[in-house]
Structure 1
Amino acid sequence: MTNMKGTVIRAAAMMAALLLFAQVWSFSRPIHRWSNGWQSSADNVQVDQIGNNVVDIDCSDRERRIQIFETHKNHTYLTEADLQFAARDAAICEPPAGLERVAFMFLVRGDLAHERLWERFFKGKEDRYSIYVHATPGFEYPEGSFFRGRQIPSKTVARFSSNLVDALRRLIAYALLDVDSPNSWFVLLCDASIPVRSFDFVYSYLTKSKLSFVESFHPSKAYHSWETLPEFPMQDLRKGEFWMALNRKHAGMVVAESTFYFKFRSQCNFWCIPDEQYIQTLLVAKDGRGIANRSVMYVDWAHAHISSPFNHDAAHITPELIQKIQSRKVDTDGARHDTAADNSTVSCVYNDLPQSECFLFARKFSSGAAQALQSLPASVLGY
């Protein structure tokens, strides 16, 4: 009898402990899921629900999102979990009132050599854009800089690593949470990027598009050297340029997802590049019909190279170069032609119309090209 009583007591204690653990886990679940990779069967449903705009979120709790945004805006981290889950909620709820904006998100080291060109591009359009800059930790733009006051709290990033993806997700989260900016599109740019169209052209092109612009293609066999199961089959693996333009729905999907994210972070190593494959694979798997499978960022991979595209310097800057990029209606020398299983030429389709204008931006342009670019007239650049 004593043994039986002891067994019952131990079983009751174990049950109580399990119930307590379940309660604690339910309260801390967002932090666990984003901080150490715990998964749940809700992960994939969560992304699908964001796509269909049916998640059970209290959209009236705007004050919570404002508090989190203001805390992070002041360069004070709570946790990445708080930031990203609040951003997920913001993506599902109605954006702030006002004329929709395009969020230009700059992932840079520090100074932007083409700052004056961007300032020229944005001039007079303040009600239709927002700017967010993720620079090297500790870097601050000086007084008088066009980008001063536009930085978000940053962390160190390295090429070919998952922390590039983290930086993009952080930029998107801030842009989604910004209570002063009804951002509907989210464009990722780097310090070697320039605009090759007028602001009005870019704004109309993006805000009227039915699809997000994410280059996503089947990579060559060399990239099939890691195990993607059970999260997704190898035939679903994709690759493409990191520099993309996302609508609000897809921006929310990117910050909310965890299953694919942790798979890439833990196992995408040899012959795998997280920033060129994670989002490209995720969006094809979750909403393949919602992306254009091409970029609006021109880049030249046709020249001899090791791991970087052609870098334009001052000697290459001519009106003819810009006009050539502007007139392109097929992609003949982008990343697809460098690493795709099928590198055939692709027509640029825009809202179901083939042979449409492909590019709004271009890279890479060196710091030495800055003055030559600024010397180009508005009749060439469009601004």
Structure 2
Amino acid sequence: MVDAEKRLLGHALEDPNNQHFVLLSDSCVPLHNFDYVYNYLMFTNISYIDCFEDPGPHGNGRYSDHMMPEVEVKDFRKGAQQIDCLEAVINHSQNPLIMWFSMKRQHAIIVMADSLYYTKFKLYCRPGMDGRNCYADEHYLPTLFNMIDPTGIANWSVTHVDWSEGKWHPKHTGVKTSAIDMSYHVTSNEKEHEKYHMFELLLQKKMMIQPCLWNGVKRPCYLFARKFYPEAQDNLLHLFSNYTTV
């Protein structure tokens, strides 16, 4: 997956006019109008890459000592959107989670230029390595930027996804749609276990609920959402028309 992401970035970088790069899929929809999204991404100096430290078995527990000395466990980070995306997804899915990033040009160039850290993840962060199931697409970008430019990224993704069904894959939304709370960013803390209801998600973990700050001002966290069927179009146009302004 990381190889595919790097190929996409490399191709997009060939156009010098491209200054920001967003990874999306054909099931993603915008939550705001074009001008809002453009201004949100272009008039800030940060990239939006989900990044947090997870001391549990699905975070630092995946780290391999073979990654030393370039990558130490204290620098190892995770970026799986939406709180581990349920253990069932991590343990059983044949398709590891994708980092839905939004990246400034200077950071895209860094990713393309990197071979040192990338090689470490390609060799030692993979399923079955040292008896662990490590997925480079969940850890490479968060760890890389935590090490080389931690203040240059916002520690959340601008793409919302709904894991409320508790299945191996995120919820697909058809004709029926519901509101999305775009004001907060949620990551996991496995030390305590409480129930929180956020983004229609109910998990047996404590959530670290943080407002999303854009240039120091509280703004909605999300610019895009997934996964939506084509038949959801009419309802989405009505629902998200209310989200075009702050």
TM-score scaled by length of structure 2: 0.74
Structure 1, residues 62-106: CA drift from partner, whole Å, max 9, x if none?
A: xxxxxxxxxxxxxxxxxxxxxxxxxxxxxxxxxxxxxxxxxxxxx
Equivalent of 2:18 in 175, 183, 189: 183
Deviates more, 1:339-348 or 1:361-370: 339-348
Q: Does 1:236 align with 2:75?
A: yes
Aligned pair in 2 of structure 1 residues 378, 189: CA closer, same or farther (>3 Å)? closer
Aligned length: 205
Alpha-carbon offset, residue 359 of structure 1? 1.0
1:317-332 map, 5 Å: 317=177, 321=179, 324-325=180-181, 328-332=182-186
Is contact 1:297-1:361 (8 Å) kept?
yes
Is contact 1:218-1:340 (8 Å) kept?
no
**How far apart, CA to CA, are the structure 2 residues paired with 1:231 and 1:285?**
10
Q: Which residue of 1 aligns with 2:212?
A: 348
Alpha-carbon offset, residue 300 of structure 1? 2.5
**How far apart, CA to CA, are the structure 1 residues paired with 2:165 and 2:241?**
32
**How far apart, CA to CA, are the structure 2 residues paired with 1:371 and 1:290?**
37
Aligned pair in 2 of structure 1 residues 307, 233: CA closer, same or farther (>3 Å)? farther
Q: Which residue of 1 aligns with 2:173?
A: 312
Alpha-carbon offset, residue 254 of structure 1? 0.7
Equivalent of 1:365 in 215, 228, 231: 228
Is contact 1:211-1:351 (8 Å) kept?
no
**How far apart, CA to CA, are the structure 2 residues paired with 1:276 and 1:234?**
15
Greater percentage in helix: 1
1:1-383 map, 5 Å: 164-178=1-15, 182-222=17-57, 223=59, 224-225=61-62, 226-227=64-65, 228-240=67-79, 241=81, 242-269=99-126, 270-301=132-163, 303-315=164-176, 317=177, 321=179, 324-325=180-181, 328-332=182-186, 336-337=187-188, 343-353=207-217, 355-370=218-233, 372-373=235-236, 376=238, 379-380=241-242, 382=244
SS at match of 1:210: coil
SS at match of 2:149: helix
**How far apart, CA to CA, are the structure 2 residues paired with 1:351 and 1:340?**
31
Alpha-carbon offset, residue 220 of structure 1? 4.1
| Unaligned ranges ≥5, structure 1 | 1-163
Structure 1, residues 25-46: CA drift from partner, whole Å, max 9, x if none?
A: xxxxxxxxxxxxxxxxxxxxxx
Q: What is the Cα-based RMSD across aligned positions, in Å?
A: 2.6
Aligned pair in 2 of structure 1 residues 377, 307: CA closer, same or farther (>3 Å)? closer
Aligned residue type for 1:309: P
Q: Which of the pair has the greater relative contact order for Cα pairs under 8 Å at 6+ separation?
A: 2
SS at match of 2:23: strand
**How far apart, CA to CA, are the structure 1 residues paired with 2:138 and 2:239?**
34
Aligned pair in 2 of structure 1 residues 356, 344: CA closer, same or farther (>3 Å)? same
SS at match of 1:314: coil
Aligned residue type for 1:300: D
Deviates more, 1:270-279 or 1:285-294: 270-279
Is contact 1:217-1:340 (8 Å) kept?
no
Structure 1, residues 133-170: CA drift from partner, whole Å, max 9, x if none?
A: xxxxxxxxxxxxxxxxxxxxxxxxxxxxxxx1111111
Greater percentage in strand: 2
| Unaligned ranges ≥5, structure 2 | 82-98, 127-131, 193-205
Is contact 2:175-2:232 (8 Å) kept?
yes
Give the number of the structure whose alpha-carbon radius of gyration is greater. 1
**Seq. identity, %:** 34
Is contact 1:196-1:362 (8 Å) kept?
yes
**How far apart, CA to CA, are the structure 2 residues paired with 1:340 and 1:367?**
40
